[in-house]
A and B are shown apart, each in its own frame.
Chain A
Amino acid sequence: MYCFTEVLYHGKNHLISCNSAEKIMFSQHNPLFSVDGSLSSRSQEFLCIFLCACTSIICCSSDCHCVTFFLNLHQHSFYYFFYCLQENRQFGSKMTDSKYFTTTKKGEIFELKAELNSDKKEKKKEAVKKVIASMTVGKDVSALFPDVVNCMQTDNLELKKLVYLYLMNYAKSQPDMAIMAVNTFVKDCEDPNPLIRALAVRTMGCIRVDKITEYLCEPLRKCLKDEDPYVRKTAAVCVAKLHDINAQLVEDQGFLDTLKDLISDSNPMVVANAVAALSEIAESHPNSNLMDLNPQTMNKLLTALNECTEWGQIFILDCLANYTPRDDRESQSICERVTPRLSHANSAVVLSAVKVLMKFMEMLPKDLDYYGTLLKKLAPPLVTLLSAEPELQYVALRNINLIVQRRPEILKHEMKVFYVKYNDPIYVKLEKLDIMIRLASQANIAQVLAELKEYATEVDVDFVRKAVRAIGRCAIKVEQSAERCVSTLLDLIQTKVNYVVQEAIVVIKDIFRKYPNKYESVIATLCENLDSLDEPEARAAMIWIVGEYAERIDNADELLESFLEGFHDESTQVQLQLLTAIVKLFLKKPTETQELVQQVLSLATQDSDNPDLRDRGYIYWRLLSTDPVAAKEVVLAEKPLISEETDLIEPTLLEELICHIGTLASVYHKPPSAFVEGNHGVQHKGLPGSAGSAESESPDAVSAGAATEAPAAVIPSQGDLLGDLLNLDLTPPATTGPLPHSGGMQMGAMDLLGGGLDSLLGGDLGGSPAMGAGFGAPPAAMPPAFSAPVSGSLYDLFDLDNGVGMPLGSFCPPKTVWLPAMKAKGLEISGTFVRHAGVIQMEMTITNKAMSVMTGFAIQFNRNSFGLAPAGPIQVPSPLSPNQNIEVSLPLNTVGPVMKMEPLNNLQVAFKNNIDVFYFSCQYPISVLFAEDGKMERQVFLATWKDIPNENESQFQIKDCHLNSDAASNKLQSINIFTIAERTVDGQDMLYQSMKLTNGIWALAELKVQAGNPNYTVSLKCRAPEVSQCVFQSYEAVLKN
Chain B
Amino acid sequence: MMTMISQLFILSSKGDHLIYKDFRGEAGNDVINVFYEKVTALPGDQPPVVMSHRDLHFVHVRQGGLYWVATTTSAGSSPFTIIDFLNRLAALVTDYCGSLSEKSVQMNFALIYELLDEVVDYGYIQTTSSDVLKNFIQTEAVSSRPFSLFDLSNVGLFGAETQQSKVAPSSAATRPIQSSRDQGVFVDVIERLSVIIGSNGAVMKADVEGEIKVKCYMLNCSEMRIGLNEEFSIGRSTLRGYGAAVHVDECRFHQAVKLDEFDDHRILKLCPSQGEQTVMQYQLSDNLPSPPPFRLFPTIERDNRGRLLIYMKLRCDLPPKSAAINVSVSVPVPKGCVSLSQELSSPEQRCELKPQSRSLVWTVPRCSGGTQLSAVFKLDVPGLSSASMLEVGPVGLTFELPKLTSTGLQIRFLRLTPVQPGPSQRWVRYVTHSDSYIIRV
A and B: bona fide binding partners = yes
Q: Which residues of A contact B132 (CB under 8 A)?
A: 309
Residues of A in contact, count (CB < 8 Å): 97
Q: Which residues of A contact B125 (CB under 8 A)?
A: 311, 314
CB distance from A509 to the nearest CB of B (A): 23
By beta carbon, the residue of chain B nearest A193 is B170
Flag if B358 contacts A459 (CB, 8 Å).
yes
Query: What is the bound-complex CA distance between A422 and B121, given in angstroms?
Result: 40
Q: Point out which of B84, B109, B129, B249 has the most chain A C-beta atoms below 10 A from its C-beta.
A: B84
> Is B216 interfacial (CB 8 A cutoff)?
no
State which of B41-49, B150-158, B176-184, B344-352 sits at the interface with chain A. Answer: B41-49
Query: What is the bound-complex CA distance between A516 and B129, given in angstroms?
Result: 62
Contact of A169 with B22 at beta-carbon distance under 8 Å, contacts A311-B125, A384-B252 already known = yes
Q: Which residues of A contact B57 (CB under 8 A)?
A: 664, 675
Flag if A237 contacts B124 (CB, 8 Å).
yes
Flag if A345 contacts B436 (CB, 8 Å).
no
Flag if B47 contacts A347 (CB, 8 Å).
no
Flag if B50 contacts A668 (CB, 8 Å).
yes
21 pairs, CB–CB < 8 Å, chain A vs chain B: A132-B109, A132-B110, A136-B18, A158-B110, A202-B117, A237-B121, A276-B2, A311-B85, A345-B253, A348-B81, A384-B283, A387-B281, A389-B83, A395-B49, A422-B394, A423-B436, A660-B76, A662-B78, A667-B79, A676-B55, A676-B75
Flag if B78 contacts A351 (CB, 8 Å).
yes
State which of B313-321, B383-391, B422-430 sits at the interface with chain A. Answer: B383-391
> Is A133 interfacial (CB 8 A cutoff)?
yes
Flag if A343 contacts B332 (CB, 8 Å).
no
Query: What is the bound-complex CA distance between A273 and B114, given in angstroms?
Result: 20
Contact of A311 with B126 at beta-carbon distance under 8 Å, contacts A137-B17, A419-B196, A662-B80 already known = yes
- Within 235-267 of B, Cβ neighbours of A (below 8 Å) are at 249-255
- Within 308-323 of A, Cβ neighbours of B (below 8 Å) are at 309-311, 314-315, 318-319, 321-322
By beta carbon, the residue of chain A nearest B119 is A311
Flag if A667 contacts B76 (CB, 8 Å).
no
Q: Which residues of A contact B52 (CB under 8 A)?
A: 675
> Is A883 interfacial (CB 8 A cutoff)?
no
Query: What is the bound-complex CA distance between A157 and B170, given in angstroms?
Result: 10
Flag if B387 contacts A318 (CB, 8 Å).
no
Contact of A392 with B80 at beta-carbon distance under 8 Å, contacts A136-B18, A458-B393 already known = yes
Q: Digitize A551-574: 1 where CB-to-B-CB distance is under 8 Å, 0 elsewhere.
A: 000000000000000000000000
> Is B287 interfacial (CB 8 A cutoff)?
no
Q: Say which residue of B83, B169, B209 sits within 8 Å of A158 (CB atoms).
A: B169
Contact of A161 with B83 at beta-carbon distance under 8 Å, contacts A309-B129, A351-B78, A454-B394 already known = no
Q: Say which residue of A352, A427, A496, A672 sits within 8 Å of B46 (CB atoms).
A: A427
Flag if B83 contacts A395 (CB, 8 Å).
yes
- Within 337-392 of A, Cβ neighbours of B (below 8 Å) are at 343-348, 351-352, 380-381, 383-384, 387, 389, 391-392
CB distance from A275 to the nearest CB of B (A): 9
Q: Digitize B195-208: 1 where CB-to-A-CB distance is under 8 Å, 0 elsewhere.
A: 01010000001010
> Is A254 interfacial (CB 8 A cutoff)?
no
Q: Say which residue of B17, B129, B249 sits within 8 Å of A138 (CB atoms).
A: B17
Flag if B124 contacts A348 (CB, 8 Å).
no
- Within 373-417 of A, Cβ neighbours of B (below 8 Å) are at 380-381, 383-384, 387, 389, 391-392, 394-396, 399, 416-417
CB distance from B68 to the nearest CB of A (A): 11
Contact of A162 with B17 at beta-carbon distance under 8 Å, contacts A311-B85, A660-B1, A675-B75 already known = no
> Is A426 interfacial (CB 8 A cutoff)?
yes
Flag if A395 contacts B281 (CB, 8 Å).
no
> Is A472 interfacial (CB 8 A cutoff)?
no
Q: Which residues of B contact A419 (CB under 8 A)?
A: 196, 205
- Within 83-122 of B, Cβ neighbours of A (below 8 Å) are at 83-85, 87, 109-110, 113-114, 117, 121-122
Flag if B283 contacts A241 (CB, 8 Å).
no
Q: Digitize A636-676: 1 where CB-to-B-CB distance is under 8 Å, 0 elsewhere.
A: 00000000000000000000000010111101100010011
Q: Which residues of B contact A8 (CB under 8 A)?
A: none
**Considering the complex of A and B, which 9 residue pairs feature the smallest CB-CB distances, nearest first?**
A421-B436, A672-B75, A427-B47, A348-B81, A158-B138, A311-B125, A676-B75, A387-B209, A662-B78
> Is A71 interfacial (CB 8 A cutoff)?
no
> Is A287 interfacial (CB 8 A cutoff)?
no
CB distance from B189 to the nearest CB of A (A): 15
> Is A986 interfacial (CB 8 A cutoff)?
no
Flag if A205 contacts B122 (CB, 8 Å).
yes
Q: Point out which of B132, B278, B281, B357 has the most chain A C-beta atoms below 10 A from its C-beta.
A: B281
Query: What is the bound-complex CA distance between A421 and B209, given in angstroms?
Result: 13
> Is B366 interfacial (CB 8 A cutoff)?
no
Query: What is the bound-complex CA distance between A418 and B389, given in angstroms?
Result: 28
Q: Which residues of B contact A165 (CB under 8 A)?
A: 113, 117
Q: Which residues of B contact A487 (CB under 8 A)?
A: none
Query: What is the bound-complex CA distance between A444 and B119, given in angstroms?
Result: 46
Q: Digitize A426-437: 1 where CB-to-B-CB distance is under 8 Å, 0 elsewhere.
A: 110011000000
Report the tally of A-B residue pairs with Cβ distances under 8 A: 247
Flag if A424 contacts B436 (CB, 8 Å).
yes
Main secondary structure of the interface of A (DSSP, over half): helix
Q: Which residues of B contact A321 (CB under 8 A)?
A: 1
Q: Which residues of A contact B83 (CB under 8 A)?
A: 389, 391-392, 395
Query: What is the bound-complex CA distance between A509 and B173, given in angstroms?
Result: 70
CB distance from A798 to the nearest CB of B (A): 71
> Is B136 interfacial (CB 8 A cutoff)?
yes
> Is B25 interfacial (CB 8 A cutoff)?
yes
Flag if B127 contacts A311 (CB, 8 Å).
yes
By beta carbon, the residue of chain A nearest B208 is A387
CB distance from A17 to the nearest CB of B (A): 31
Q: Which residues of B contact A162 (CB under 8 A)?
A: 110, 113
By beta carbon, the residue of chain B nearest A680 is B74
> Is A521 interfacial (CB 8 A cutoff)?
no
Flag if B79 contacts A416 (CB, 8 Å).
no
A352-B78, A423-B435, A454-B440 known, 14 other contacts, Cβ within 8 Å: A233-B126, A279-B1, A280-B4, A346-B255, A347-B84, A348-B81, A423-B396, A423-B436, A427-B46, A427-B47, A427-B49, A662-B78, A664-B76, A675-B75
Q: Digitize A152-168: 1 where CB-to-B-CB distance is under 8 Å, 0 elsewhere.
A: 00001110011001000
Flag if B121 contacts A311 (CB, 8 Å).
no
Query: What is the bound-complex CA distance between A229 and B323, given in angstroms?
Result: 54
Query: What is the bound-complex CA distance between A566 and B126, given in angstroms?
Result: 66
Query: What is the bound-complex CA distance between A495 and B388, given in angstroms?
Result: 7
Flag if A318 contacts B76 (CB, 8 Å).
yes
Q: Point out which of B207, B385, B396 has the most chain A C-beta atoms below 10 A from its C-beta.
A: B207
Query: What is the bound-complex CA distance between A450 and B198, given in angstroms?
Result: 10
Q: Which residues of B contact A660 (CB under 8 A)?
A: 1, 75-76
> Is A682 interfacial (CB 8 A cutoff)?
yes
Q: Which residues of A contact B283 (CB under 8 A)?
A: 383-384, 387
Flag if A680 contacts B75 (CB, 8 Å).
yes
Flag if B45 contacts A462 (CB, 8 Å).
yes
By beta carbon, the residue of chain A nearest B2 is A318
Query: What is the bound-complex CA distance between A138 and B2, given in angstroms?
Result: 30
Q: Digitize B389-424: 1 where CB-to-A-CB distance is under 8 Å, 0 elsewhere.
A: 011011010000000000000000000000000000
> Is A996 interfacial (CB 8 A cutoff)?
no
Q: Which residues of B contact A172 (CB under 8 A)?
A: 25
Query: What is the bound-complex CA distance between A598 and B296, given in angstroms?
Result: 62
- Within 495-524 of A, Cβ neighbours of B (below 8 Å) are at 495-497
CB distance from B139 to the nearest CB of A (A): 6
Query: What is the bound-complex CA distance between A234 and B136, given in angstroms?
Result: 13
> Is B194 interfacial (CB 8 A cutoff)?
yes
Query: What is the bound-complex CA distance between A427 and B110, given in angstroms?
Result: 37
CB distance from B195 to the nearest CB of A (A): 10
Q: Digitize A460-503: 1 where CB-to-B-CB distance is under 8 Å, 0 elsewhere.
A: 00100000000000000000000000000000001111000000
Q: Say which residue of A234, A241, A351, A664 sits within 8 Å of B75 (CB atoms).
A: A664
Contact of A319 with B2 at beta-carbon distance under 8 Å, contacts A234-B121, A345-B252, A348-B80 already known = yes
Flag if B394 contacts A348 (CB, 8 Å).
no
Q: Point out which of B76, B83, B357 has the most chain A C-beta atoms below 10 A from its C-beta.
A: B76
> Is A206 interfacial (CB 8 A cutoff)?
yes
